[in-house]
Amino acid sequence: MAEPVLNICNLCKSFGALKATDDVSLDLYPGEIHALIGPNGAGKSTLIHQIAGTLKHNTGSIHFMGRDVSALGVSHRAQLGLGRTFQISSLTPEFSALRNVMLAVQANQGSSFRFWQPVMADASLKDRAMHMLERVGLVDRAPVPSAELSHGERRQLEIAIALALEPKAFLLDEPMAGMGPEGSKRLTGFLDTLRHEAPILLIEHDMDAVFALADRISVLVYGRIIATGTVDDIRRNPQVREAYLGESV
């Protein structure tokens, strides 16, 4: 098998007495969608935060593209190619959807120290950003301040921003949440093709989407990974059925 793009080894993180991440090891290989599922409060988002650098882990290691990124800050890791979305949308509220994406295009071009040319007259930024909005189906809403977008639209915008970064790996934290069945279905189709651009670590509660998309699934319960395997492995795993999937399978 190829080298993993992302390799997490024996990661631990505590909030006081709470072990939010308990000896987690996990890989993400080129071209795959690795789903991370688990009940509310299992520590899924906390794990994404540690990979992206918004939270620092206590022990263990995170390697990205063969490089230990543990000591690097959020922006540095993003520059290396980690493109993440937030479970609770995190946008620049006063800026339009378009400008939110334009900023990401600008960041990806690595050129924020230009003081003179107006961005809105910069076709290289605008066209590229429009293209990303088009891919997530948000072109109509380009001029709307992101604070005025609906919940689902904000989720789409988060993805457009991540796309604009042309990342080497996507970290998506519940992208389907609040999308409605129609939107979820469309997004499922989209992510299915997106994996060829870059592998995806996907946190999702929508089991239909997870089972349709995932090459591998890891199940996180109380900060621990209790199982990792293919969709069939996970469906059959008695521990998983008991701890998480319950009767819903």
Ligand X SMILES: Nc1ncnc2c1ncn2[C@@H]1O[C@H](COP(=O)(O)OP(=O)(O)OP(=O)(O)O)[C@@H](O)[C@H]1O
List residues binding Mg ion (CB under 5 A). Answer: 44-45, 87
Question: Of the candidates 60, 65, 95, 235, which one interacts with another protein according to CB under 8 A?
Answer: 95
- DSSP states along 132-184: HHHHHT-GGGTTSBGGGS-HHHHHHHHHHHHHHT--SEEEEESTTTTSHHHHH
Burial 160-169 (b: 16+ CB within 10 A, else e): bbbbbbebbb
Chain positions 75 to 114 lying near ligand X, rule: CB under 6 A, are 87
Say whether residue 157 binds ligand X (CB under 6 A).
no
Quote the least distance from Cβ 8 to ligand X, whole Å: 15
Question: Of the candidates 56, 59, 68, 93, which one interacts with another protein according to CB under 8 A?
Answer: 93
Q: Which does 66 bind (CB under 5 to 8 A by kind): ligand X, Mg ion, another protein, none?
A: none
> In this chain, which stretch among 44-52, 63-71, 112-120, 128-136 interacts with ligand X, using CB under 6 A?
44-52
Q: Which is nearer to ligand X, 39 or 183 (CB)?
A: 39
Report how far residue 211's alpha carbon sits from residue 194's, in angstroms, rounded to the nearest whole number: 16
Count residues near another protein (CB under 8 A). 41
The two tokens of residue 176 are 């389907």
Closest CA to 32 of 144, 205, 156, 196: 196
Question: Of the candidates 2, 16, 66, 117, which one interacts with another protein according to CB under 8 A?
Answer: 117
Q: Which is nearer to another protein, 105 or 214 (CB)?
A: 105
Quote the least distance from Cβ 48 to Mg ion, whole Å: 8
Cα torsion through 4, 101, 152, 90, rounded to 10: 80
The pattern of x and - marking residues 141 through 160 that bind another protein according to CB under 8 A reads --x-x---------------
Say whether residue 28 binds ligand X (CB under 6 A).
no
Question: Of the candidates 11, 27, 44, 98, which one interacts with ligand X according to CB under 6 A?
Answer: 44
